[in-house]
Structures are given as C-alpha cells and as structure tokens.
Amino acid sequence: MEKQKNSEKRNNEQKVAVLDKFVKKMRECGQILFSRNLIDTRSGNVSVKLDRNKLLIKKTGVSMPYMTKKDVITLPIYEGTEKDNLASSDLKIHRQIYIESEKGNKNINAVLHCHMPEAVALSFFDDEITPLDYEAQYFIKKIKVAEYNSIPEYVAEFKLCIAKGHGVFVGGKDLDEALFLTLALHNSLKIFLLKNLLEKIKT
Ligand SMILES: [Zn+2]
C-alpha cells in the first residue's frame, strides 16, 4: 500500500514537472513572438502533443507571453469533450494537424499559430509563395496559402501553411523547431515583400 502511494506520488510529481516545462516553453515562445509583433496580448495560440491521444493547448482569451499553468488545458486529440470550449478557438485545427501528421508519420509534436501581418497581406494575392532567401530555401520546402480546412494536411506535409486572410500555422518536432520555422518564415516573407516592392519602384 505504502509502495503504491509512493509510486503514485512520484508519477504526479513527474506530471507536474512535465507540465511546468511545457508551460515555461510556451510562455517563452509567446514572449519572442510578442517582441517581434507577431502576436498581441490575446491573439495566437500554441499546443504540444503529450502522447498519442493527448495534447496540451492554450486556453481561449489568455495571453501567450504571460501564460501560467492555469492558462492551459489537456484534452484528447481523437475525440471532442465538453471542455473543448475552454481551449483556444483553433483547437480543431491543432487536433487535425496531429492526426494528419500521425497518418503520414511526420513527427509533429508542437504547433504555433500567429497572425503574421506579412503572411496575411500576401495571402490575398498568392496561393503559393516560393522563398527567395537562402535560409528559407534550405529549411522551408513550400509555403502554401490555404483555406481553413486544408491547413492540417499542408502543415503535416510542409510543417507550415498560411491560412488565407488569417495567419500562419507552423508545426515542429518540438516547440523550438516550430518557433524557429515561424521566425524563418517571417524573415523570408519580409524579404519577399521588400524585393517585390523595390522591383515596382525601381523598374
Ligand atoms: Zn488565429
């Protein structure tokens, strides 16, 4: 009995440590996105996959740069629950990205979403953007612009996708990769925009 109690206590301590680690990382991602003007105090969302059928996601209406443990919720990936409405409004897309990724063996364990202004602006003109800069050509295969329902398949395939008129969804093997790809995408789209604007002025 005593042994069982001790092992339960250890399990709970481990779960709390894992939760603390993820929330800290989510908050750091929020602070970096905020510092680059990619989210405001309420917009954007983030999730991580905890196991095959469990994700940890930001709650709706809370601020990513100031997130604490009470601002996240653990939910199943493969089924809806009555607590779904507490989660970020993009919960369905996050779930579907993990499902599509699992189907294609793509190893996506974290998803970041922000309303990147350059991506939203370009999404009104292009269905696909080919990166011009060396870094993005190396790390980003394809930048698709898609309607909301097609986002999961593109994120599973190319790790990122622009939702038309809305923002970007980026997946990674962990939050570090999702953040790195978000920032590489941002840099690449700035270069794309500047090059096209300069071309118009200079020619
Ligand atoms: Zn959004």
Q: What is the pLDDT of residues 149-160, one digit of tens each?
A: 999 999 999 999
115: CA distance to ligand 1 center in Å? 6
| Number of domains observed in the structure of the chain | 1
Q: Which residues pair with 75 in a beta bridge?
A: 55
Here the tokens at position 95 are: 């779930």
Which helix (H) or strand (E) covers residue 35, if one does?
helix 2-35
Tell whether the model's pLDDT for residue 137 goes beyond 90: no
CATH number at residue 122: 3.40.225.10
- Confidence class for position 147, pLDDT limits 50, 70, 90: very high
174: CA distance to ligand 1 center in Å? 20
40: CA distance to ligand 1 center in Å? 11
Give me the domain span that covers residue 103.
Answer: 2-202
162: CA distance to ligand 1 center in Å? 11
Round the average pLDDT of the chain to a whole number and report it: 93
Nearest to 155 by CA among 44, 176, 146: 146
pLDDT for residue 4: 80
Please state, in angstroms and rounded to a whole number, the distance separating the CA atoms of residues 174 and 85.
Answer: 25
Would you say 26 and 64 are in contact if contact means Cβ atoms under 8 Å apart?
A: yes
pLDDT for residue 203: 78
Please state, in angstroms and rounded to a whole number, the distance separating the CA atoms of residues 186 and 190.
Answer: 6
- Confidence class for position 110, pLDDT limits 50, 70, 90: very high
pLDDT for residue 11: 83
Tell whether the model's pLDDT for residue 6 goes beyond 90: no
45: CA distance to ligand 1 center in Å? 7
184: CA distance to ligand 1 center in Å? 19
pLDDT for residue 93: 96
163: CA distance to ligand 1 center in Å? 9
Please state, in angstroms and rounded to a whole number, the distance separating the CA atoms of residues 142 and 131.
Answer: 8
113: CA distance to ligand 1 center in Å? 7
DSSP 8-state assignment for residue 129: E
pLDDT for residue 169: 98
pLDDT for residue 7: 82
Is 11 or 192 the better-scoring residue by pLDDT?
192
- Those residues whose beta carbon sits under 5 angstroms from the ion ligand 1 are 167
